[in-house]
Amino acid sequence: MGVPPTIMSSLRRLRRGLGFVRSYLPFIVRMAGAAAGRRVDYSDWLEPHFRSYADHPALIGESGSMTWAELDAFANRVARWAIDEGLRRGDVVTLLMENRPEYIAIWLGLSRLGVVTALLNTNLTGDRLAHCMRAAESGHLVVGVELVEAATSALSELTEFPKVLVVSGSAEPGVDLASVRQSIPSAESLDVELESQSSRKIEHSYRRDRLGGDGLFLIYTSGTTGLPKAARVSHTKALSAGAAVWKLQRLTPNDRVYCCLPLYHSAGGMMAVGGALFAGGSLVISSRFSAKRFWSDCAQHDVTAIQYIGELCRYLLNSPPHPDERRHTIRLALGNGLRPEVWTPFQERFGIPRIVEFYGATEGNLVLFNLEGRVGAIGHLPDFVRRLLGVEVARFDLEVEEVVRGDAGFCLPVQPGEPGELLMKITKTTRFEGYTDEAASKKKILHDVFEKGDAYFRSGDLLRIDSEGFFFFVDRIGDTFRWKGENVATSEVAEVLSVVVGVEEANIYGVEIAHTDGRAGMAALVTNQDFDLENFGRIVEEDLASYARPIFLRILPQMEITGTFKHRKVDLVKEGFDPACLSDPIYFRDPTRGTYVPLDAVAFERISDGTIRL
C-alpha cells in the first residue's frame, strides 16, 4: 500500500522547509551583526581580506586591476581627500563613471568617512542627468574622463555648480585638464589630488559613531511615475544584498565573479560586487555587455560565477556559436528576468550547472531567491517563512490599478495560481528606506493591509504563488515597464513627447514582442496638421535615453480616457502593434536607419520572428 498523496505532499513541504533553513542559516547568522543600529559599515566586512589576500586580485578591469592591498590603499586616499574637502558623515558626492575598478574604490573610500555616493546612470544626459544631480543635493561631482561630455550637458542645466573632479585612472593615460576645461572651466583632476594623499587608514574618530543604518548609496530608479527617483541605500541594506549572494551561492576566495551589468544599478553594483568581495574573491568587471566578448572574458579570467539579466541570456542564446562558450569554468549564474523558454536552452547549451533566479527592487525591503532551480520561478518561501516575514500576494484590480479590499476594509490574499500585487511587510528588520523624495516614498507604502496599523511595501508587480511556495512573475503594474534592462517611466516619456510640435496627446505603454524580454515602448499619439514624423524622431533621439525611446507609434483620431481623466491603457496594451489587427497608422523605429517608418505585415513578421532586432 502506497503513501497517501496528502502525506507525500506534507513530507515534500517539510523537506523543502528544512532545506530552506539549512541554506539561509549562514546568511542569517552573518547578518546578525549588521543591523541598522549596530556600529558597522561596509569596510568592516572587507577588513580581514585586505590582510589575508593582500596580493590577490580584488578588482579586474579591462584596462587595469587592483589587488586587495591596492584597493585598500586607494580607498584610504579617497577618504583622506574627502576629509581635506570638508566632507562629513551624511554628505553626498555624485559619481558618473563607466564600469571600472576605480568606480568601486571611490565609493568605498567615501563610505569610510560616512559620505554617501549618488550613483548616476551613464545613459542619461542633459536635464535628466541634471535632475539626478539636483536630487542628490551634492556639492561634488566625480566624473570619469570618458563621460565628460555627458557631464557637461547636465551641468549647463544647473544653477548651482558642483565642484567637478575628473578621473582617468586606468581608463586613459591621463586627464588632459586643458581639454576638459574647455567644457568645464573649473574642473580639477582627482588623480592628481589623490597622488598627494597618504594611504594610511583614517583615524578611528571618523568612524566611531558610524551605524549600519547610515547612508551608503543613492541609487536611481524610474519607479512608477515621473523623473528618476533617488532610492536610499544604507550600509545594512548593501551588506544584506552582498551577503545573500555570498552565502546563498557559497562563494569562496577562489571564486571570480563576472559583472557586465552597470555598477550604478543594485544588481551589479551591490549584489555582484558584494558577493565577490565579501567572499574574499575577485570581481571581473566589463565596461558593458558584449555577446561577442562575453565567453572570451569568462574563459580568459577563469570566471566561476556570472551575474545576468534575462535579456543578456537571450542575446547569448541567439548569438552564433562561440569557441569559448563551453571552455569556461562557470559553476553558477545569479540574476533576474530569465524567462522559462530561455532558461533550459541557455543552461544546456552553455553548460551552466546552477542558476539562481532572484526577485527584488532597489528600493524594496526584501529579496526573493529561487535556490532550487525551479525553471521560471523567481523565488521560493516556505509557507511558515512567508507568513513570518509578511510576504503576501494581494488581489489586484487591473482596470482601476488598485488592490482589492474586502468588506472589512482589508486586502484579500490571492488563491494559489491567481495573480496579484506582491506586498512585503515593513518592520524594524525589513525596513523601507525610501527615496529622497518623501512624497514618492509614501506612494510605495500601503497601510492597514491585513490588520489595523500595519504597513507594507508595494512592489508594483503582479506575481502569482503556487501551492509549494514558488513565486512567478506575471507583469508590471501601472506606468512602468522594463526594456533593455532598464525601468521606463511612461510619464517621463510622455512629458517629452507631449511638447513636440503637432502632438496634442501622448499615451505611453509597453507591448510584448515574441521571444523578447521586457516590453517595448509604444506611443499612442493624437496629432494635428503640424506633426512632422522626421522632426518627432529627431527629438526622440536627442531628448530620451536609448532604452526610453518608443519603438512603435500609433496615430489615434482621439484618446480614450477613464472616468478620472486618465489615459486608458489596458485595451491599447492588449491590441499591441500588429497592423493587420489595427486600422490606425502604425510606425516602428527602424534600428538600421534610426528613424520611424510605416509598419507593414512583412516588417511585423520579421520583428516577431527576431529577424529584425530592436
Q: Are 144 and 97 in contact (CB under 8 A)?
A: yes
CATH topology of domain 480-608: GMP Synthetase; Chain A, domain 3 (3.30.300)
What is the location of CATH 3.40.50.980 in the chain? Answer: 33-57+64-245
Q: Are 299 and 502 in contact (CB under 8 A)?
A: no
Task: Read off the pLDDT of each residue in 475-502 and give the average, rounded to a whole number.
Answer: 83
**Which CATH number fits the domain 33-57+64-245, given the four candidates 3.40.50.980, 3.40.50.10470, 3.40.50.10420, 3.50.50.60?**
3.40.50.980
What secondary structure letter does DSSP report for 568?
A: P
Read off the pLDDT of residues 129-145 as tens digits, 9 standing for 90 and up: 999 999 999 999 999 99
Is residue 564 predicted with pLDDT exceeding 50?
no
Grid cell digits, residue 435: 527615496
CB environment 9-48: b (16+ within 10 A), e (fewer)? eeeebeebbeebeeebeebeebbeebbbebebbbbbbbee
Task: Read off the pLDDT of each residue in 235-249 and give the average, rounded to a whole number.
Answer: 95
| Confidence grade of residue 10 (pLDDT, cut at 50, 70, 90) | low
Task: Read off the pLDDT of each residue in 189-202 and give the average, rounded to a whole number.
Answer: 95
Read off the pLDDT of residues 34-65 as tens digits, 9 standing for 90 and up: 899 999 999 999 999 999 999 999 999 998 99
pLDDT mean across residues, the chain: 91
Three-class DSSP category at 280: coil
pLDDT of amino acid 348: 97
What is the location of CATH 3.30.300.30 in the chain? Answer: 480-608
| Confidence grade of residue 225 (pLDDT, cut at 50, 70, 90) | very low
What is the location of CATH 2.30.38.10 in the chain? Answer: 381-476
Read off the pLDDT of residues 281-303 as tens digits, 9 standing for 90 and up: 999 999 999 999 999 999 999 99
Q: Are 514 and 529 in contact (CB under 8 A)?
A: no
Count of beta carbons in the 10 Å neighbourhood of residue 564 = 6
Grid cell digits, residue 111: 563610505
Of 330, 312, 551, 360, the closest CA to residue 457 belongs to: 360
Read off the pLDDT of residues 441-486 as tens digits, 9 standing for 90 and up: 999 999 999 999 999 999 999 999 999 999 999 877 877 788 888 8
> How far, in Å, CA of 71 to CA of 66, rounded?
6
pTM, entire model? 0.86
CATH topology of domain 381-476: Luciferase; domain 3 (2.30.38)
Count of beta carbons in the 10 Å neighbourhood of residue 369 = 24
Is residue 148 predicted with pLDDT exceeding 60?
yes
